Structure 1
Amino acid sequence: MTTEEKLQHFLDFCMEDVRGRSGKMLDDYEASLEKTFEEHKANASDRAKMQIRIQKETIKREMNKRLSLEQLELKRKVSKKQEELKDMLFVELRDYLAKFESSPAYYQLLEQQIKAAKDFSGDEHMVIFMDPADEKHMSRLAYQYGVRIQASDQSFLGGTIAVIPAKNILIDNSFSKKLVEARQNFSFGVELADGGESDGK
C-alpha cells in the first residue's frame, strides 16, 4: 500500500469515526431535547391543571360568598316584611279586642277572671285592678263577687290584674300582657337559615 493510499485510508477511518461519534452526539442531543420537551410539556400540563383547579376553587369561593350575601339580604328583607305584617296583624287584633270589649262576652270574661282569682285567694285580702275604660263595670262586679275593685293608673287594654298582698302574688290577665306574649310567640312558620319550614304558632 502506497503512502498516499495509507493516508487516504487513515482519513477515511477518521471521517467514519467522526461521523459515528457525531451521529451518536446528535442522537443523544436529540434524545435530551425530546426528554426536556416532554418534561416541559408535563410540567406545563401540571401547571395548567393546577391553575384551572385554583381558578375553580376561587370561582367556587366567590360564588359561595355571593350566595351567602344574597341569602342574608333575602333573610333581612323577609324578616322586615314579617315585622310589617306582624304590626298590621296586631293592630287588627287590638281593633278586634276593642270591639270584643263592647260585647256581653267581655263582661262574662271579666266575671270568669275575677271568680278564678277569688277562688285562688281564698280568704286572703285581694285587690282587682281593671282598665280605666272598664270603670262602668267595676261597681257591679265588686258587689257581685264581694271584692275590692279599682281602676288602674295606666291602661292595659282590658282584662284584669289581681293582687294578693299576703301571698305576694300577682295574677296578670290583662290584654296588654296577652298581646305581648302573643307577639313574642308568634311565628309565620318560615325559617330561611335552614332553608326549611317550621310549624307556625
Structure 2
Amino acid sequence: MTIDEKLQHFYEVSLDEAREDAAQAIQEHKEHLARTLEDHKQTSRQNAEAEIKAETGHVRREVNKALSAEQITLRRDLSRKQEELKETLFAEVKTKVQQFITTAEYDEYLCRRINEAVKFAGDDEIQIYLSSSDKSKANDLAQKTGTPLQVSKEDFIGGIRAEIPHKNILIDNSFSANLASMCREFKFDGGLKNE
C-alpha cells in the first residue's frame, strides 16, 4: 500500500470515526434537549397547576367571604323582619286581650283564677289583687267568689295576682306578665319553646 493509499485510508477511517462521533454527539445532544424540554414542560405544567390551585383557593376564599358577608346581611334582615312581625303579632294579641276583658267570659275567667288561688292557699292567708283597670268588678267578684279582693295600684291589663305571705309565694296570673313571658319566649321556628 502506497503512502497515498494509506493516507486515503487514514482519511476515510478518520472521516468515518469523526462522522460517528459527530452523529453520536448530535444524538446525545438531541436526547439531552428532549430531556430538557420534557423537564421544562413538566416544570411548567406543575407551576401552572400550582398557580391554578392557588388562584382557585384564592377565588374560593373570596367567594366564601362574600357569601359569609351576604349571609350575615340576610340574617340581620331576617332578624329585623321577624322582630317587626313579632311586635305586630303581640300588638294584635294585646288588642285581643283588651277586647276579651270587656266580655262576660273574662269575669268567669277571673272567678276561676280567684277560686284556684284560694284552693292553692288552702288554710293559709291569701291576698288577691285585681288590676287597677278592673276596680269596677271588685265588689261583684268578691261576692261571687266569697273572697275579699284588693285592687292593685298597678294596671297589669287583666288577670289576678295573689300573695301567700306565710309561704312567701306570689302567684302572677296577670295578662301583662303572661304577655311579656310569651313575647320573650316566642320563636318563629316553632312558636313558644318546647312546642
What is the TM-score when the length of structure 2 is the normalising length? 0.90
Unaligned runs of 5+ in 1: 190-198
SS in 2 for 1:177: helix
Aligned to 2:2: 2
AA partner of residue 16 (structure 1): D
- Give the superposition deviation at 1:28: 0.3
| 1:22-51 deviation line (CA, Å, top 9, x unaligned) | 110111011100011011112212222222
Contact 2:126/2:165 (8 A) holds in 1: yes
Amino acid of the residue matched to residue 183 of structure 1?
C
1:65-80 equivalences in 2 (<5 Å): 65-80=65-80
Q: Deviations over 1:105-145 (max 9, x none)?
A: 11111111111101111221111111111111112223433
Q: Name the residue aligned to 1:193.
A: none
Say if 2:164 is the partner of 1:164. yes
- 2:96 is aligned to 96
CA distance in 2, matches of 1:22, 1:65: 63
**Partners in 1 of 2:10 and 2:79 — Cα distance?**
101
Gaps of 5+ in 2: none
Identity %: 37
Quote the residue 1:18 is aligned against. 18
Q: What letter matches 1:23 in structure 2?
A: A
Cα shift at 1:72: 2.0
Contact 1:130 1:161 in 2 (8 A): yes
1:157–1:175 Cα contact (<8 Å) kept: yes
Q: After the TM superposition, which of the residue ranges 169-178 and 139-148 deviates more from structure 2?
A: 139-148
Using the TM superposition, give the Cα deviation of residue 62 of structure 1 relative to its aligned residue in structure 2, in angstroms: 2.2
**Cα distance in 2 between the residues matched to 1:143 and 1:17:** 137
Distance in 2 between the 1:70 and 1:118 partners?
Answer: 57
Letter in 2 for 1:22: A
Q: Which residue identity does 2:12 align to in structure 1?
A: D
AA of the residue aligned to 1:82 = Q
SS at match of 1:187: coil
Alpha-carbon contact 2:124-2:166 (below 8 Å) kept: yes
Query: What is aligned with 1:64?
Result: 64
Residue 126 of structure 1 contacts residue 148 of structure 1 at CA under 8 Å; is this kept in 2? no
Q: Secondary structure at the match of 2:156?
A: coil
* Cross-structure match for 1:137: 137
In structure 2, the residue matched to 1:87 is 87
CA distance in 2, matches of 1:120, 1:19: 121
